């Protein structure tokens, strides 16, 4: 079972405000302990469905793996897109 971390910031302001990549990684480490892989999207909106880091993270998931984010809004800003991601993760076991 692998733990896959996903980090995202959409603006430089977010990075400076404490929601940056380092803060997200620290939050994931605190909550999940270790992780086996980390995928990042820097400068992508949470509503963008074609984020390369997210797509790679989803492709890396196998049965029994878990996808971990620091906050739900780092995964998706749109409730329907978030539901799609949830469904895709569950489909992969």
| Active-site pick, 10, 17, 49, 82 | 10
To the query of whether residue 47 is one of the catalytic residues in this protein, the response is: no
Overall residue count recorded for the chain in this entry: 93
Residues 6+ apart with CB under 8 A from 39: 4, 5, 6, 7, 53, 54, 56, 57, 60
> Any idea which residues carry the catalytic annotation?
10
């Amino acid at each position: 079972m692998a733990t896959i971390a996903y980090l995202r910031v959409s603006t430089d302001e977010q990075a400076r405000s404490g929601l940056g990549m380092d803060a997200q990684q620290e939050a994931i480490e605190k909550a999940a302990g270790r992780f086996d892989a980390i995928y990042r999207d820097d400068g992508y909106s949470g509503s963008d469905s074609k984020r390369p880091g997210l797509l790679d993270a989803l492709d890396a998931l196998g049965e029994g793996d878990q996808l971990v984010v620091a906050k739900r809004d780092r995964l998706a800003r749109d409730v329907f897109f978030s539901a799609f991601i949830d469904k895709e993760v569950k489909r992969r076991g």
